[in-house]
Amino acid sequence: MRSYGQYCGLARALDVVGERWALLVVRELLDGPRRYNELLNGLPGIATNLLVERLRSLEADGIVHRLDDGRYELTPWGEDLHEAIYALGRWAGPLMARPRGDDHFRPNWLHHMVVARFEGTDPLRKDLIVELQTGDEPPVTLVSAGGQVYLATGGVRNPDVRLNGPEDAVVGLLLGRLGRADAESRGVTATGNVRGLSGLRPRGERRPDSITNRSASHRGRRRTSGNDGL
C-alpha cells in the first residue's frame, strides 16, 4: 500500500488499515480467532486472493498473527482497534436507517451492534428483555440488566418485547432509528412493551434527519455569509 507520507497519527493508521476490507477483517477477528474459511464466510463479497493478501499485510504490520492450529487472531495491538471500529459504527448510524436492499447480513453482526451501542454501564438504563428474530435465523435475546446490555442465544419464555422481521427494520426499531409504525410497514412484528425500548439508551444514536437538517443549515449559513461579504 502506498503511504500518505504525512507525519500524522491518522495518516499513519490509514497507511496500515486503510485498504479496502482491512477493517472488516479486524471486525470479524474482534469476535475471537477465526479460520480462513470462517473469515471468508463472514466477509461476503471479498475475493479469496484479496483475503489472503489482506491477512498477509495485517500480519506483516503486527495487527494479526496466525496460531499453530491455522486460525488467525488479533495481536494486543490489533485488539486496540476495538474502540476505533465501534466508534465508526456508531458514527454510521444515520446511514444504517436506509433499507438494507441487497446488502449482505450475518447474524453475528448483531453482536457488533450491541457492543457499539451498549458497551459499558449506564445507570439510567432500564431493565428489559428483548427477543430478536430476523429471517429464518433462531431468535437471540437482548438482556438489559443493572445498566448493562448483552446478547444471549435462544429465546426466552416471557420477554418484555418481541421483535421479528427484516434485520434493518428490527435493529432500526430497537435503536430508535425507526418508529413502530415505520418498522411495521417494513415487515416487523412487534409485541409487548415496545415503548420500553427507549429505556435502553443506545450510545451515540443520531436520527437520520439530523444530518440532512444540519447539512441544509450549514449550506444556509454559507450562503448568508457569502451575501454578507458582498
CA distances in angstroms from 164 to 133, 139, 170, listed in the order given: 5, 9, 7
Low-confidence ranges of the chain (pLDDT < 50): 228-230
139 shares a domain with 55: no
The pLDDT score that the predictor gives to residue 229 is 43
- Flag whether 216 is in a domain: no
Decide: 57 and 49 in contact? Cβ < 8 Å. Answer: no
> Which of 57, 55, 82 has its CA nearest to residue 71?
55
Question: Would 90 be classed as within a structural domain?
Answer: no
Per-residue model confidence (pLDDT) at position 230: 39
pLDDT, tens digit (0-9, with 9 covering 90-100), for 157-204: 899 999 999 999 999 999 998 999 999 999 999 999 999 999 999 998
Contact 63, 17 (CB under 8 A): yes
Q: What is the DSSP string of 38-57?
A: HHHHHSTT--HHHHHHHHHH
96 part of a folded domain: no
Q: What is the pLDDT of residue 46?
A: 97
The Cα–Cα gap between 230 and 226 comes to 7
106 Cβ contact list (under 8 Å, min separation 6): 41, 42, 44
Residues shown for the chain: 230
Residue-level pLDDT at 220? 57
Give the C-alpha separation, 33 to 36, whole Å.
10
CATH code, domain with 177 = 3.30.1050.10
Residue 178 within any structural domain of the chain:
yes
Is the separation of the CB atoms in 150 and 143 below 8 Å?
Answer: yes
The pTM (predicted TM-score) of the whole model is: 0.86
pLDDT, one tens digit per residue, over 78-98 is 999 999 999 999 999 888 877
| 105 & 196 share domain | yes
The total of other beta-carbon atoms located within 10 Å of residue 71's CB is 15
Domains of the chain: total: 2
Q: Is residue 66 part of a domain?
A: yes
DSSP H helices in the chain = 9-17, 22-29, 36-42, 48-60, 76-79, 82-91, 93-96, 109-118, 167-175, 180-185, 208-228
φ and ψ at residue 150, rounded to 5 degrees: -150, 165
Q: Domain range spanning residue 151?
A: 101-200
* Residue 217: inside a domain: no
Q: Judge if 36 and 124 occupy the same domain.
A: no
- Contact assessment for residue 151 and residue 142, using Cβ atoms and an 8 Å cutoff: yes
Whether 71 and 120 share a structural domain: no
Specify if 94 maps to a domain. Answer: no
> Residue 163 is inside which H or E element, if any?
strand 161-165
Residues 76 and 122 in one domain: no
Residues 154 and 113 in one domain: yes
d(CA 24, CA 98): 20
Burial 80-92 (b: 16+ CB within 10 A, else e): ebeeebbeebbee
Question: Are residues 181 and 114 part of one domain?
Answer: yes
What phi and psi, each to the nearest 5 degrees, are found at residue 67?
Answer: -80, 165
Q: Which of 47, 80, 113 is the last residue of a domain?
A: 80
Asked whether residue 223 is assigned to any structural domain, the reply reads: no
pLDDT of residue 213: 61
The answer on 187 and 129 residing in a single domain is: yes
